[in-house]
């Protein structure tokens, strides 16, 4: 990948990632997130992983972020509530962020960077499919099961169950509103 192209998309990815957390309006954050995801997809395509990059765009931009948009609409999040700045939460967030930075630094410094030539079918659909449905089949299926459990859990938590008092009342047939 030419250095200029890498620098462009990498810088844009970082700027838009900052945009995700620095903006007040959730929908604007969402738009910034889309830009970040597309930049990462572009970087993958630049590394000759065309199928992976396009799948990233399809799955994340085309489906998952749309679901985020639905969550924002359904919960009616217009702005960040101003209350979110309590000291305890801020401390907790700082500790979490520091832990993440430490982990990533350790990971990056310990990774052995080496240049090696990849096969000519690197990043192709056939190779990707071989990995997903061959070597890592069980991990892949277990992950999908995990996501299913999460979806069922969200529906169970978010659904407004009728209160038992109302549920036991016989259904009314009259058009008159009950008082």
Partner 1 sequence: MLIDLIISAIKAIFVVLLVLNLSAVLLWFERKGSALIQDRIGANRAGLFGIGRRLGLPNLGIINTFIADPLKIFTKEDFVPDRADKFLYTLAPFLALFPVLISFAPIPFGDRLIVGSHQIELVVCPLTAGILYILAALGLGVYGAALGGWASNNRWALLGSVRASAQLISYELTMGLSIIAVVMVYGTLDLQEICRAQSGTWFGWLPKWGIVYQPLGFLLLLVAGIAESRRIPFDLPEGESELVAGYFTEYSGGKQAAFMLADFAEIVLVSALISTLFFGGWQVPYLQSDGFHLPGGTWLPLSNPVVALLGFVAFGIKVVFFCWLQILIRWTLPRFRYDQLMTLGWKGLLPLGLVNLMVTAVAIVAVGGSV
Residues that bind partner 1 (CB under 8 A): 25, 27-28, 31, 34, 38, 41, 50-51, 54-55, 57-58, 61-63, 66, 69-70, 73, 124-125
- What's the CA gap between 157 and 152, in Å, rounded? 9
Which of 58/94 has CB closer to partner 1? 58
Q: How far apart are CA 126 and CA 133, in angstroms?
A: 10
Closest to partner 1 by CB, 63 vs 167, is: 63
- Report residue 123 as tokens: 């990043």
CB of 81 to partner 1, least distance (A): 19
Nearer to partner 1, 71 or 179 (CB): 71
Q: Please say which residue, 10 or 69, places its beta carbon nearer to partner 1.
A: 69
Compute CA 52 distance to the chain's CA centroid, rounded to the nearest angstrom: 16
Least distance CB 57 / partner 1 (angstroms): 4
Task: Give the separation between CA 143 and CA 156, rounded to whole angstroms.
Answer: 20
CB of 26 to partner 1, least distance (A): 11
User: Residue 133 CB, nearest distance to partner 1 (Å)?
Assistant: 12
* C-beta neighbour count of 154 within 10 angstroms: 11
**CB 12 within 8 Å of CB 35:** yes
Report the chain's C-alpha Rg in angstroms.
23
């Amino acid at each position: 990948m030419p250095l200029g192209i890498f620098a462009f998309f990498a810088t844009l990815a970082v700027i838009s990632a900052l945009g995700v957390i620095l903006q007040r309006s959730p929908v604007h954050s969402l738009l910034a997130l889309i830009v970040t995801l597309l930049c990462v997809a572009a970087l993958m395509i630049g590394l000759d992983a065309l199928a992976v990059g396009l799948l990233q765009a399809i799955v994340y931009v085309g489906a998952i972020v749309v679901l985020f948009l639905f969550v924002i609409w359904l919960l009616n999040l217009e702005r960040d509530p101003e209350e979110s700045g309590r000291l305890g939460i801020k401390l907790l967030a700082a500790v979490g962020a520091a832990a993440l930075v430490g982990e990533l630094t350790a990971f990056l410094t310990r990774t052995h960077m080496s240049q090696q030539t990849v096969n000519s079918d690197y990043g192709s659909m056939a190779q990707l499919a071989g990995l997903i449905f061959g070597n890592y089949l069980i991990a892949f299926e277990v992950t999908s099961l995990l996501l299913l459990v999460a979806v069922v859990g969200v529906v169970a938590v978010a659904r407004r169950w009728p209160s038992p008092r109302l549920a036991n009342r016989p259904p009314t047939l009259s058009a008159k509103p009950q008082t």
